[in-house]
Amino acid sequence: MSSAPSLKDTTTTLIPSAVYHSNTSQTTIKLEPGPGPHSTIGKTSGPSDYVMNAGMVDKDVPSAPSSTNLGALRSQLTSLQDVINLYLTDRMKKNVAEEKDVDMDNLIGEQEDEEDAE
Amino acid sequence: MSVANIEKAESLLGDIKLKKISQGAEAIIFLANEHPYSNERNCPTIVKYRPRKLYRYPVLDLQIVKQRTASESRIIFKLFQSSVIEFNKLEKKKNSEKIDRSLVNYVINNGGVNCPKLIGLDVYNGFIFMDYINDTLVNGESSSLKNHLWLLEKTFADSLSEKLTVHNCQSIVASREIEREVVALNSKIKDLLVLTGIQLGNMHMFDVIHGDLTSSNIILKKYDSENNNDELQPLYIPYLIDFGLSSQSSLTEDKAVDLYVLEKALESTHPLFSKDYSKWVLEGYELAYEMKGKRENAAKPYRVKHREIYKRLEAVRLRGRKRSMIG
Amino acid sequence: MTRGGYIALGLEGSANKLGVGIIRHPEGSPVAHHTGAEILANIRDTYITPPGEGFLPRDTARHHRNWIVRLIRRSLEQAGLASIDDIDVICFTKGPGMGAPLQSVVVIARTLSLMYNKPLVGVNHCIGHIEMGREITGAINPVVLYVSGGNTQVIAYSKQKYRIFGETLDIAIGNCLDRFARILKIPNNPSPGYNIELLARKGLTKPENFIQLPYTVKGMDISLSGILEHIENLAKNNDGGKYAPQDFCFSLQECLFAMLVEITERAVAHVNSNQVLIVGGVGCNLRLQEMMKIMVSDRDGSIHATDERFCIDNGIMIAHAGLLSYRMGDHVKDLREAVCSQRFRTDSVWIDWRDD
Can you give the pLDDT of all 118 residues of chain A as single tens digits?
A: 334 444 454 545 678 999 988 877 778 889 999 887 899 999 999 999 988 998 899 999 998 998 888 889 999 999 999 999 999 999 888 877 776 555 555 554 444 333 333 2
Alpha carbon C20 to chain centroid, angstroms: 14
Name which of A60, A85, A111, A116 to mutate to probe chain C: the one with the most chain C Cβ atoms within 10 A of its Cβ: A60
- B108 confidence band (pLDDT: 50, 70, 90): low
- Cis before residue C190, ω within 30 degrees of 0? yes
Contacts of C130 (CB under 8 A, 6+ apart): C144, C146, C155, C162, C277, C279, C346
User: Catalytic: which of B212, B242, B254, B258?
Assistant: B212
Alpha carbon of C121: minimum distance to chain B alpha carbons (Å): 18
- Which has the closest alpha carbon to B317: B284, B282, B273? B282
Answer yes or no: is pLDDT of B106 > 70.
no
pLDDT band at B166, cuts 50/70/90?
low
For the segment C101-126, what is each residue's pLDDT rounded down to a tens digit?
Answer: 999 999 999 999 999 999 999 999 99
Distance of CA A100 to the CA centre of its chain: 22
Residues of the binding site of C for a divalent metal cation: 125, 129, 146, 313
User: Over the stretch C283-339, which tens digit does the pLDDT of each residue have?
Assistant: 999 999 999 999 999 888 999 999 999 999 999 999 999 999 999 999 999 999 999
Contact (Cβ atoms closer than 8 angstroms) between residue B130 and residue B117? yes
B156/C186: higher pLDDT: C186
Domains and CATH numbers, chain B: 3-131 (3.30.200.20), 145-319 (1.10.510.10)
Residues 6+ apart with CB under 8 A from C286: C197
Q: Is A53 on the interface with C (CB under 8 A)?
A: no
pLDDT of residue C146: 96
Q: Is there a contact between B245 and C98 if contact means CB atoms under 8 Å apart?
A: no
User: What pLDDT is attached to residue A110?
Assistant: 40
Choose the closest CB to C50 out of A7, A46, A56. Answer: A56
CB B223 within 8 A of CB B307: no
Whole-angstrom distance, CA of residue C277 vs CA of residue C137: 8
**Confidence at residue A116, expressed as pLDDT on a 0 to 100 scale:** 35
Measured between alpha carbons, how far is C95 from C328 in angstroms, rounded to an integer? 20
Nearest to A68, CA basis, from A17, A15, A10:
A10
Q: Does C94 touch chain A (CB under 8 A)?
A: no
CB distance from C242 to chain A under 8 Å? no
Chain C positions touching B64 (Cβ under 8 A) are: 215, 258
* C-beta atoms of A51 and C343 within 8 A: no
The DSSP call for residue B206 is T
Pick B100 or B86 by higher pLDDT.
B86
Separation between Cα atoms, residue C15 and residue B171, nearest integer Å: 59
Residue of C nearest to B213 (CA): C219
Q: Which CATH architecture has domain C5-131+311-348?
A: 2-Layer Sandwich (3.30)
CA dihedral B179, B180, B186, B189 (to 10 degrees): -140
Do C5-131+311-348 and C141-309 come out as alike in CATH topology?
A: yes
Cβ neighbours of C163 (radius 10 Å): 16
Report the residue of chain A nearest C48, measured CA to CA.
Answer: A56
Q: Do residue C294 and residue B55 have CB atoms under 8 angstroms apart?
A: yes
- Hey, is the C-beta of C115 within 8 angstroms of any chain A C-beta? yes
pLDDT in tens, C45-101: 999 999 989 899 999 999 999 999 999 999 999 999 999 999 999 999 999 999 999
Mean pLDDT across chain C: 94
| Reported confidence tier of residue B327, pLDDT bands at 50, 70, 90 | very low
Outline where DSSP puts E strands in chain A. 18-20, 29-31
> Do residues C87 and C319 touch, judged by C-beta distance below 8 A?
no
Closest CA to B117 of B9, B275, B30, B241: B241
- Residue B237 has what pLDDT? 85
Residue B228 has pLDDT above 80, yes or no: no
Amino acid at C281: G
> For chain B, what is the mean pLDDT?
82
How far from the centroid of its chain's Cα atoms is residue C354's Cα? 21
Question: Residue C59: its chain A contacts at CB < 8 A?
Answer: 47-48, 51
SS3 state of residue C283: helix
Using a CB–CB cut-off of 8 Å, the residues of C that contact B are 14-15, 93, 95-98, 125-126, 148, 150-151, 163, 167, 172, 210, 212, 215, 217-219, 254-255, 258, 261-262, 265-266, 268-270, 290-292, 294-295, 298-300, 313, 342-346
CA distance A48 to chain C (A): 7
Tell me which chain C residues have a C-beta less than 8 angstroms from the C-beta of A48. 56, 58-59
Give the residue from B237, B301, B243, B260 showing the smallest Cα distance to B108: B237
β-sheet bridge partners, residue B174: none
- CATH of segment(s) C141-309: 3.30.420.40
SS3 of residue B325 by DSSP: coil
How do residues C246-266 score in pLDDT, each as one tens digit? Answer: 999 999 999 999 999 999 998
Q: Residue B65: which region, alpha, beta or left (left: phi > 0; alpha: psi -120 to 50)? A: alpha
3-state helix, strand, coil in chain A (%, to 5): 45, 5, 50
What chain B residue is nearest to C98 in terms of C-alpha separation?
Answer: B326
pLDDT of residue B59: 95
Which residue from B1, B120, B116, B121 is spatially nearest to B51, judged by alpha carbons?
Answer: B1
Whether the pTM exceeds 0.95: the reply is no
Q: Given an 8 Å threshold on Cβ–Cβ distance, is C50 in contact with A63?
A: no
Torsion-angle region of C244 (φ positive above 0: left; ψ -120 to 50: alpha; else: beta): beta
Which chains does chain A touch, 3 or more C-beta pairs < 8 A? C
Write down the pLDDT at residue A118: 29
**C148 touches C96 (CB < 8 A):** no
Whether the CB-CB separation of C322 and C94 falls below 8 Å is answered with: no
Q: Number of residue pairs across A and C with CB atoms under 8 Å?
A: 40
Average pLDDT over residues B7-28: 84
Sign for the CA dihedral angle at C79, C82, C88, C90 comes to positive
Alpha-carbon dihedral angle through residues C77, C280, C47, C226, given to the nearest 10 degrees = 180
Could you tell me the CA-to-CA distances from C58 to A47, A61, C210 in Å, in that order?
8, 14, 39
CA-to-CA dists, residue B96 to B91, B92, B93, angstroms: 9, 7, 5
Q: What values do phi and psi take at C162, rounded to 5?
A: -90, 110
Q: Which chains touch C (3 or more CB pairs under 8 A)?
A: A, B
**Which CA distances in Å does C264 have to A24, C136, C244?**
51, 21, 31
| Helix segments in chain C, DSSP class H | 57-79, 99-116, 125-137, 173-183, 192-201, 225-237, 245-271, 286-298, 308-311, 315-327
- From chain C, the residues in CB contact with B245 under 8 A are 217-219
Query: From CA C84, how far away is CA C120, in angstroms rounded?
Result: 13
What integer is the mean pLDDT of B68-95?
Answer: 81
- pLDDT score for C16: 95
Among C291, C348, C301, C350, smallest CA distance to C325 is for: C350
Mean pLDDT check: name the lowest of A43-52, B199-208, C9-18: A43-52
Q: Answer whether C48's CB lies under 8 Å from C36's CB.
A: no
Which residues of chain C make contact with A62, given a CB cutoff of 8 A? 65-66
The CA distance from C344 to C14, in Å, is 12
CA C285 to chain centre: 13
List pLDDT tens digits, range B237-284: 899 999 988 989 999 999 999 999 899 889 878 888 889 999 999 999
SS3 C26: strand
Give the pLDDT confidence score for residue A1 in this predicted structure: 38
- Please give the residue of chain B at the shortest CA–CA distance from C345: B325
Contact C294 B54 (CB under 8 A): yes
Q: What is the pLDDT of residue B250?
A: 94
> pLDDT tens for residues C129-181?
999 999 999 999 999 999 999 999 999 998 899 988 888 988 999 999 999 99
Dihedral angle computed from the Cα positions of residues C193, C198, C203 and C209, in that order, rounded to the nearest 10 degrees:
-40
pLDDT > 80? residue B174: no
Residue A3 confidence (pLDDT): 41
- Backbone dihedral angles phi then psi of residue B233, each to the nearest 5 degrees: -125, 70
B282 dihedral zone (left: phi>0; alpha: psi -120 to 50; beta): alpha
Domain boundaries, chain C: 5-131+311-348, 141-309
Highest mean pLDDT: which range of B3-17, B138-152, C82-96: C82-96
Report whether pLDDT(B124) > 60.
yes
Q: Between the CA of residue C176 and those of B86, C173, C188, C315, what are the distances in Å?
A: 46, 5, 14, 25
Establish if C56 touches chain A: CB-CB under 8 angstroms: yes
B100 assigned to active site: no
What pLDDT sits at residue B20? 87
Phi, psi of B69 (to 5 degrees): -65, -45
**C290 Rama class: left (phi>0) / alpha (psi -120 to 50) / beta:** alpha
Tell me the residues of chain C between 57 and 76 that have a Cβ less than 8 Å away from chain A.
Answer: 58-59, 62-63, 65-67, 69-70
Give C154-211 as a DSSP string: EEEEETTEEEEEEEBSSS-HHHHHHHHHHHTT---SS-HHHHHHHHHHT--SSGGGPP
- Pairwise CB contact (< 8 Å): C67 & A7: no
3-state secondary structure of B93: helix
